Amino acid sequence: MNPDLNLLQTVRDLLRYGVTRFNHAKLFFGHGSSNAFDEAAYLILHTLQLPLDRLEPFLDARLLPEEVTQVLQVIERRATDRVPAAYITNEGWLGNYRFYVDERVIVPRSFIAELIPDLFSPWVEAENVTRALDVCTGSGCLAIMLADAFPQAQVDALDLSHAALQVASRNVEEYELAERVKLYESDLYAGLPAGLRYDLIISNPPYVNSQSMQKLPKEYMAEPEMALAGGEDGMDLVRRIISGAAQLLEDDGVLVVEIGNERENAERAFPRAEFTWLSTSAGDDMVFLLTADQVRELHQSL
């Protein structure tokens, strides 16, 4: 589309145009925004280096021609290339936490992030958590949130992707947590030092089943496939995460794993599991918790 620049002079003009352009392109929204209006407003404010929570005062501000051109380039990239907005702005948000992101990692999103501020109460005694582990850390977002929530704890975070860990390292440095968050390039637990035990292990692993992978919107296909694909039933890594955690959890430790829409596959894969399903904004079937005893019993059956 080639809009008449003479008709686009204010933030309000660009916002209206952006919403129409996004709706016409039938974009998918699932990486921070849920609709065309919010996505357009975010991209416009970010591009113009305006406060992201202060749209109203700037709606009728007249823009310089070069500013209009810059915003239109961003809108067109989002509409044509179908990349997530976070890759355009190089930032992703979880609550009030901002993280650097690019195409080396999936865009930060996790229902576990909703549970961290409450310290996984009542299943976790927060004061007893001295060491925690984030499996499949990606951008490092959950590990950083864990370190902030449990200030007395050492947090380890692992990922198989060297590229993803470069992004995680940048975020850890930006939050000045390098002394408390240690990153490991590891195929799940294989690269961890021997003898480590954890009071809390969390993971938001690849869990999309193969049939669903074939139906993902283009926006998701812009993300690293290895961070999404969970095998035929989505449980390939979940099986290994549960099995390996049996040797790593302290006796009173817990394992928390996010599986998105795969509850049916999880219960089919682990028929003996006594999952505790944790409540999130998307319902009670996105994240499960297992105690150390439950993990060990389940490990014996795998």
- Mean pLDDT, residues 260-284 taken together: 95
Q: What percent of the chain has pLDDT over 70?
A: 99
Give the per-residue pLDDT at 1.
66
What's the confidence (pLDDT) of residue 32? Answer: 87
Q: Above 80 in pLDDT, residue 285?
A: yes
Alpha-carbon gap, residue 203 to 211, rounded angstroms: 22
Domain ranges of the chain: 5-89, 105-301
Q: What is the pTM of this model?
A: 0.94
The whole-number pLDDT of residue 300 equals: 86
pLDDT at residue 246 above 70?
yes
| Distance (Å, whole) CA 87 – CA 83 | 7
Confidence category of residue 301, pLDDT binned at 50, 70, 90? confident
Q: Which residues contact 65 (CB under 8 A, 6 or more apart)?
A: 5
Would you say the C-alpha torsion 101, 105, 111, 112 has a positive or negative sign? negative
For the record, the structure tokens of 112 come out as 């576990």
Average pLDDT of 14-23? 97
Average pLDDT for residues 133-141, to the nearest whole number?
98
| Whether residue 237 has pLDDT greater than 70 | yes
Pick the CATH number of 105-301 from 3.40.50.150, 3.20.20.140, 1.10.3720.10, 3.40.50.300: 3.40.50.150
Over residues 216-222, mean pLDDT = 95
pLDDT tens digits for range 250-263? 999 999 999 999 99
Q: Please state which CATH number belongs to domain 5-89.
A: 1.10.8
DSSP string, 124-153: S-GGG--EEEEES-TTSHHHHHHHHH-TT-
